[in-house]
Amino acid sequence: MCVFRTDESTHSLFSCKQPIAHLRETEKNRNTPKNNNNATISTFVPMAGIYIHIPFCKKACHYCNFHFSTSSNNIPAMLQAICTEALLRKDYINEKVSTIYFGGGTPSLLKIADLRLQIEKLRELFALEDNAEITLEANPDDITAEKLAEWKMAGINRLSIGIQSFFEEDLQWMNRAHSAEQALQSILLAQEAGFDNITIDLIYGTPTLTDERWVHNIQTAISLKIPHLSCYALTVEPKTVLYKMIEQHKMPNIDSEKQSRHFEILMQLAGAAGFEHYEISNFAKPGRRSRHNSSYWQGKQYLGLGPSAHSYNGNSRQWNISNNALYLKSIEQNTIPFEIEYLTATQQLNEYIMTSLRTMEGLSLYHVRQTWGAKNKEQIEKDARKFLDAGTLELKNDHLVLTPKGKFFADGIAAALFTA
Ligand code: SF4
């Protein structure tokens, strides 16, 4: 539903429902991934996830650069094509599937019969764990008591609700399809329907969001007993309405000081309310972490279905074309339209540095030594010294972990530890 990232070296907060390949050496689609001599090390960990990208939205939020269409004409054809892709790729993962994630786009737009069919197809083609986590991203304006009951019956056991803010002015500024009242009501309705595994998305650092409002948004989530929060700093992505408005001086640029302030407020309030800050943008009550997103950060394999979806099998990443019409045309011919990159050992290590540092557990020096060798471990230790001295990193049980101060510089520190 939403990706926000800032890449300034000083203050960087990004998160994604699906990871973004950092080091691109792409090859055009060969359809059958081949072995690559450079890909010498696999960080494969068993237990897989499946991501399904539903590329349709009612309207375009001003900040969003995700792949979606606001025309609903092709929804039936797209769902059929995603089922075909699932069939074509049923051998991509050879482990039990522990999570399914319907993201987008706006999967809550789907008719219940269509969603049920998608889940049934996945159950038929893949070995699903009995207690698999099945998440549906939902926008507040789609949430009704009737739909919630149907989602539950269909097997959805986790909801990710795109709240963004509980204030009307913020929502209008973002061009969201829902109102502040719908934001609140959608959560209450979901809880009444028996959904206890709920996460909400909130955005901070927007021009209309004052510090007081940001406090109110977090406190509202806490008082509603939401067990998981994904909180993202607003970023300006090319080709978005927001980008154009800033470029034309119709809107002020991002206020990075405000974003830092909001991040600080967030860490304080969420920490005091008993949330674990388990990834830079993610906060969970004990036992309520996102199993699906955690698997991205732990280097597990996942299969992404639908236009723009990414997949990872331990040694390579691939991503489907971000174009609905071309995706449909290609799948009609039983060809999956993707690009692929094979990861060298160095790329895998650098991805591990980037993702592990953003997590609460941090970077395991033992794991680095076991997987990439003593020389790499020593180099990382040497490069980490100045951050340890500056108090932005700490060493805990042989893990390098960001301190609260270091969390403001996560990506910059990770980049400084990259190996060549
Ligand atoms: S609902 Fe808005 S933020 Fe979410 S994918 Fe659609 S346009 Fe993007």
Using DSSP's 3-state secondary structure scheme, residue 320 falls into: strand
Q: Tell me the mean pLDDT in the region 212-224.
A: 98
pLDDT tier, 19 (very low <50, low <70, confident <90, very high otherwise): low
Quickly count: other Cβ atoms within 10 Å of residue 77's Cβ: 15
Mean pLDDT for all residues in the chain: 90
Site to substitute for ligand 1 among 51, 57, 170, 171, most atoms within 8 A of C-beta? 57
Q: Token digits for 134?
A: 């099945």
Q: Is the CB–ligand 1 distance for residue 299 below 6 Å?
A: no
Q: Tell me the mean pLDDT in the region 205-233.
A: 98
| H-helix segments, 106-224 | 112-125, 145-154, 168-174, 180-192, 211-223
Contact 200, 187 (CB under 8 A): yes
Give dist(CA 22, CA 8) in Å, integer: 15
Q: Which distant-in-sequence residues (6+ apart) come within 8 Å of 264 by Cβ?
A: none
Using DSSP's 3-state secondary structure scheme, residue 288 falls into: coil
- What local confidence, expressed as pLDDT, does residue 314 receive? 83
CA of 32 relative to ligand 1 center, distance in Å? 32
Phi and psi angles of residue 394, each rounded to the nearest 5 degrees, phi first = -135, 160
- What local confidence, expressed as pLDDT, does residue 25 receive? 26
Beta bridge partners of 102: 52, 136
Give dist(CA 237, CA 6) in Å, integer: 9
Q: Tell me the mean pLDDT in the region 61-74.
A: 95
CA of 70 relative to ligand 1 center, distance in Å? 10
Bridging pattern class, strands 393-396 and 316-320 = unpaired
CA of 367 relative to ligand 1 center, distance in Å? 37
Q: Is the CB–ligand 1 distance for residue 64 below 6 Å?
A: yes
Q: Which of 401, 404, 389, 391 is nearest to 365 (CA)?
A: 401
Q: Which distant-in-sequence residues (6+ apart) come within 8 Å of 226 by Cβ?
A: 187, 198, 199, 200
Sheet holding 363-364, edge to edge: 363-364, 399-402, 393-396
Domain residue ranges of the chain, discontinuous segments joined by +: 35-297, 344-420
Contact 227, 198 (CB under 8 A): yes
Does residue 16 register a pLDDT over 80? no
Q: Is the CB–ligand 1 distance for residue 126 below 6 Å?
A: no
Q: Tell me the mean pLDDT in the region 305-322.
A: 95
Q: Token digits for 377?
A: 């471990």
Q: Tell me the mean pLDDT in the region 101-110.
A: 97
Q: Tell me the mean pLDDT in the region 10-19.
A: 39
- What local confidence, expressed as pLDDT, does residue 193 receive? 98
Q: Which distant-in-sequence residues (6+ apart) come within 8 Å of 411 by Cβ?
A: 7, 9, 12, 14, 354
Q: Is the CB–ligand 1 distance for residue 163 below 6 Å?
A: no
Q: Is the CB–ligand 1 distance for residue 1 below 6 Å?
A: yes
CA of 352 relative to ligand 1 center, distance in Å? 29
pLDDT in tens, 245-260: 999 999 999 999 999 9
Contact 206, 162 (CB under 8 A): no
Lowest mean pLDDT among 23-27, 48-52, 79-83, 281-285: 23-27
Quickly count: other Cβ atoms within 10 Å of residue 366's Cβ: 11
Report whether the peptide linkage leading into residue 299 is cis, meaning its omega lies within 30 degrees of zero.
no
Give dist(CA 205, CA 20) in Å, integer: 22
Q: Evaluate whether the domain defined by 344-420 bears CATH number 3.30.565.10.
A: no
pLDDT in tens, 279-302: 999 999 999 999 999 999 888 899
CA of 9 relative to ligand 1 center, distance in Å? 27
Q: Tell me the mean pLDDT in the region 8-13.
A: 30
Contact 308, 318 (CB under 8 A): no
CA of 57 relative to ligand 1 center, distance in Å? 6
Please indicate whether residue 339 or residue 9 has the higher confidence score (pLDDT): 339
Q: Is the CB–ligand 1 distance for residue 68 below 6 Å?
A: yes
Q: Tell me the mean pLDDT in the region 38-45.
A: 42
Contact 46, 361 (CB under 8 A): no
Measured by CA distance, the residue closest to atom 2 of ligand 1 is 61
Q: Which of 124, 79, 129 is nearest to 102 (CA)?
A: 79
Q: Token digits for 76?
A: 């039936």
pLDDT tier, 29 (very low <50, low <70, confident <90, very high otherwise): very low
Phi and psi angles of residue 216, each rounded to the nearest 5 degrees, phi first = -60, -45
Does residue 141 register a pLDDT over 80? yes
Q: Token digits for 393?
A: 């990193």
- What local confidence, expressed as pLDDT, does residue 315 receive? 87
Burial 381-417 (b: 16+ CB within 10 A, else e): beebeebeeeebbeeeeebbbbeeebbbbbbbbbbeb
Q: Evaluate whether the domain defined by 35-297 bears CATH number 3.50.50.60.
A: no
- What local confidence, expressed as pLDDT, does residue 18 receive? 61
Phi and psi angles of residue 90, each rounded to the nearest 5 degrees, phi first = -65, -20
Phi and psi based region of residue 210 (left: phi greater than 0; alpha: psi -120 to 50; beta: remaining): beta
Give dist(CA 299, CA 38) in Å, integer: 18
Q: Is the CB–ligand 1 distance for residue 105 below 6 Å?
A: yes
Q: Which atom of ligand 1 is nearest to the CA of 60?
A: 7
- What local confidence, expressed as pLDDT, does residue 35 receive? 33
CA of 175 relative to ligand 1 center, distance in Å? 10
Q: Is the CB–ligand 1 distance for residue 410 below 6 Å?
A: no
Does residue 384 register a pLDDT over 70? yes
Beta bridge partners of 133: 99
pLDDT tier, 10 (very low <50, low <70, confident <90, very high otherwise): very low
Q: Token digits for 308?
A: 């723009």
Q: Which atom of ligand 1 is nearest to the CA of 174?
A: 2
CA of 106 relative to ligand 1 center, distance in Å? 7
Does residue 165 register a pLDDT over 90? yes
Q: SS3 sequence, 352-376?
A: HHHHHHCECCCEEHHHHHHHHCHHH
CA of 126 relative to ligand 1 center, distance in Å? 29
Q: Tell me the mean pLDDT in the region 182-209.
A: 98
- What local confidence, expressed as pLDDT, does residue 206 receive? 96
Q: Which atom of ligand 1 is nearest to the CA of 57?
A: 6
Using DSSP's 3-state secondary structure scheme, residue 236 falls into: coil
pLDDT tier, 94 (very low <50, low <70, confident <90, very high otherwise): confident
CA of 61 relative to ligand 1 center, distance in Å? 6
